[in-house]
Amino acid sequence: MIDPFGRSISYLRVSVTDRCDFRCIYCMSEHMTFLPKNEVLSLEELDRLCTAFIHKGVRKLRLTGGEPLVRRDVMTLFNSIGRHIKTGALEELTLTTNGSQLARHADALFNAGVRRINVSVDTLDAAKFEKITRWGKLPQVLDGIRAAKEAGLKVKINTVALNHINNDEFDHLIEWCGSEGFDLTFIETMPMGDIDGDRTQDYLPLSQVRAQLAQKWTMKDSDHRTGGPARYVTVEETGGRVGFITPLTHNFCESCNRVRLTCTGTLFMCLGQNDAADLRAPLRAHPNDDAPLLAAIDEAIGRKPKGHDFIIDRRHSGPAVPRHMSVTGG
Ligand code: SAM
Ligand code: SF4
């Protein structure tokens, strides 16, 4: 699949549910309204959609959410998509998770063909963890991460950089990830969906974080890439890798290779734009014929925009797009 700007689209992210057992302050409000269950695609329908994308050339597929591991029977989906890993049609199947349910799923994920996972940890301080996630418990997540490591999964930690909240903990996170052998990626807060507060005060440009880290750590630019937008450095003191995802300070759209599918079958061609394609209609209207679905995918890729227009500053404190990250899938 080649978009109008010549970019080859080979990476699909799928939000398998918009629901979550946490309520991270930068992601959701405490009293989120979730999609009615009857609007959500079945696991079989999600598998059919993913398979269609793999036939169209998708080589990397990430299941995310919401919290993917809270969706009932989600391992059925991992196992069925995993068949494409076994045939070689799919290069990589990955997961982004908050880690709360990881301990009981780690072995099954490995057996399904998953080799790398991203786990979100914004702080290693248990009290602060509860403050940021509202409903999360750090020990449970750390148990999950341990289980993942033991199961043979390569773990990358995602940390959203939050001014005045976790900016005093970056060194600790770098040390911990270095000693555990985990890559670490810092992410800027993106203006997606209403939350209870205002993101402006929490927004911390990663250019600032990098300058802060450079005072303590020797960071060498690395050409390591994972298919995502992170740009990496190697930290000489720990030997670990640290990535920076900077949608706001440095826009990475020119090399974008991905599209995002929601659990209702809506395809977003850009995380930061509202244009979308409804794939549920052709999927359901033609249960035994993929041709209309494949045509709808082609038509959507033909509309992939050049880039996003995220801005966070005092004049633009509201969301740039109305939907939450948990809907489109981070
Ligand atoms: N629940 C899983 C988790 O937290 O890892 C997967 C979905 S979550 C939406 C994916 C990633 O997006 C997480 O690393 C989370 O921290 C990040 N995220 C959520 N809302 C965000 C926002 N408004 N700006 C930047 N990152 C965000
Ligand atoms: Fe849930 Fe992930 Fe959003 Fe936190 S960031 S509320 S864990 S979907």
Q: Can you give the pLDDT at residue 92?
A: 98
Q: Which residues lie below 8 Å from residue 85, measured CB to CB, with a gap of 6+?
A: 91, 92, 93, 113
Name the DSSP class of 38.
G
Measure the CA–CA gap between 124 and 170, rounded to whole angstroms: 10
The residue nearest atom 17 of ligand 1, judged by CA position, is 330
Measure the CA–CA gap between 76 and 78, rounded to whole angstroms: 6
Pairing mode of beta strands 60-64, 11-15: parallel
Which residue shows structure tokens 């300058």? 211
Q: Which residues lie below 8 Å from residue 12, measured CB to CB, with a gap of 6+?
A: 50, 53, 58, 60, 61, 62, 258, 259, 260, 261
The residue nearest atom 4 of ligand 2, judged by CA position, is 24
Measure the CA–CA gap between 102 and 38, rounded to whole angstroms: 27
- Tell me which of 120, 140, 141 to substitute to probe ligand 2's pocket, judged by most ligand atoms within 8 Å of the beta carbon: 120
For residue 59, the domain's CATH number is 3.20.20.70
Measure the CA–CA gap between 194 and 61, rounded to whole angstroms: 28
CA angle 158-46-24, nearest 5°? 30
Q: Can you give the pLDDT at residue 330?
A: 66
Q: Can you give the pLDDT at residue 251?
A: 64
pLDDT band at 158 (very low <50, low <70, confident <90, very high): very high
User: What is the pLDDT averaged over residues 32-61?
Assistant: 96
* Average pLDDT of the chain to the nearest whole number: 92
Residue 3 within any structural domain of the chain: no
Measure the CA–CA gap between 142 and 166, rounded to whole angstroms: 18
Q: Provide the number of structural domains found in the chain.
A: 1
Measure the CA–CA gap between 82 and 150, rounded to whole angstroms: 20
User: What is the pLDDT averaged over residues 67-72?
Assistant: 97
Residue 65 within any structural domain of the chain: yes
User: What is the pLDDT averaged over residues 183-202?
Assistant: 86
Ligand nearest to C-alpha 102: 1
Highest mean pLDDT among 131-140, 220-229, 267-276: 131-140
| % pLDDT > 90, the chain | 77
- Asked whether the beta carbons of 217 and 170 are under 8 A apart, the reply is no
Q: In the predicted model, is pLDDT for residue 227 greater than 80?
A: no
Please give the distance, rounded to the nearest whole angstrom, from the Cα atom of residue 35 to the centre of ligand 1. 18
Beta carbons within 10 angstroms of residue 312's beta carbon? 22
Domain residues for the domain of 56 are 11-328
Residue 118 within any structural domain of the chain: yes
Q: Can you give the pLDDT at residue 2?
A: 96
Residue 231 parent element (H or E) = strand 231-235
Residue 154 within any structural domain of the chain: yes
Please give the distance, rounded to the nearest whole angstrom, from the Cα atom of residue 177 to the centre of ligand 2. 21
Q: Can you give the pLDDT at residue 225?
A: 82
Residue 27 within any structural domain of the chain: yes
Q: Can you give the pLDDT at residue 230?
A: 83
Q: Which residues lie below 8 Å from residue 317, measured CB to CB, with a gap of 6+?
A: 191, 198, 199, 200
pLDDT band at 168 (very low <50, low <70, confident <90, very high): very high
Which residues sit opposite 8 in a β-bridge?
Answer: 2
272-316 pLDDT, tens digit each: 888 899 999 999 999 999 999 999 999 999 999 888 776 655 555
Q: What is the pTM of this model?
A: 0.93
Residue 181 within any structural domain of the chain: yes
Residue 283 parent element (H or E) = helix 280-285
Residue 6 within any structural domain of the chain: no
| % pLDDT > 70, the chain | 94
Measure the CA–CA gap between 93 and 80, rounded to whole angstroms: 11
Please give the number of the atom of ligand 2 that sits closest to the Cα of 325: 3
Residue 4 within any structural domain of the chain: no
- Asked whether the beta carbons of 105 and 68 are under 8 A apart, the reply is no
